[in-house]
Amino acid sequence: MSTDISLAARSHEENWLPILELAVEEVFEIMVGSRVKPAGPSGARPNGEFTAMVGLAGSLCGVLTVRCDAEAARQIAKSMLGDTADSEQQVADALGEICNMITGNFKNKLAGADERCLLSVPTVISGGEYSFRAMADGSAVDTVLLFEGAPVAVRLQLQG
């Protein structure tokens, strides 16, 4: 039996929620200058006017998404870029970069994933009339954190 067990297979054995939440907390503190905290099990869910996603391929396969409403996305962009962040393109770019950094931070916290897992370029969807469904069968780790009172949902969907 190979000792090189895929990280996705190990995900069922490990509790990745604290690692994911720590990655989100660190990125928001460094890049946005704001502390986020878990919303708790009964916390509000964002309506999802913005969804940023980054794919993972290699030893860990799947997609990480960050979803929030338009006001939270604008506030994230303004915290990162200053008051000049006024276009939807800048808001999308900022949220995409946050998603990219959370994914990279999470990946770097997993032993052995750093060199054997690649990230895609971020993609951002905006608008109120869409649904997002990952085509990967497997497990998912979900959390909702509060950024200045607004819910931000982060989901790691892993292929089995």
Residue reference for tokens 């708790």: 40
Query: CA 56, 60, 63, 65: dihedral to nearest 10 degrees?
Result: -100
What is the per-residue pLDDT for 128? 75
Retrieve residue 120's tokens: 């895609």
Percent of the chain residues topping a pLDDT of 70 = 84
pLDDT at residue 135 in the model: 64
For residue 142, pLDDT beyond 50: yes
* Residue range 87-104: mean pLDDT, rounded: 95
The number of beta carbons lying within 10 Å of the beta carbon of residue 47 is 13
- The confidence score (pLDDT) of residue 43 equals 66
Query: What gap in Å lies between CA 38 and CA 23, rounded to an integer?
Result: 12
- pLDDT over 90 at 67, yes or no: yes
Statement: residue 33 has pLDDT above 90? yes
| Residue 8 clears pLDDT 70, i.e. is over it | no
| pLDDT score recorded for residue 155 | 93
* Cα-based torsion angle of the residue sequence 123, 127, 133, 134 in order, rounded to the nearest 10 degrees: 10
E strands within 108-147? 117-119, 123-126, 140-147
Per-residue confidence band for 136, with pLDDT thresholds at 50, 70 and 90: low
What would the pLDDT profile of 40-61 be if each residue is shown by its tens digit? 776 677 777 999 999 999 988 8
What average pLDDT score do residues 6-22 get?
Answer: 69
Structure-model confidence comparison of residues 94 and 11, the more confident one: 94
Nearest Cα neighbor of 64 from 32, 29, 21 is 21
Eight-class DSSP state of 32: I
> pLDDT by residue (tens digit) across 82-94?
888 778 999 999 9
Give the model's pLDDT for residue 48.
77
Residue 153's pLDDT band (boundaries 50, 70, 90)? very high
Domains observed in the chain: 14-38+46-158 (3.40.1550.10)
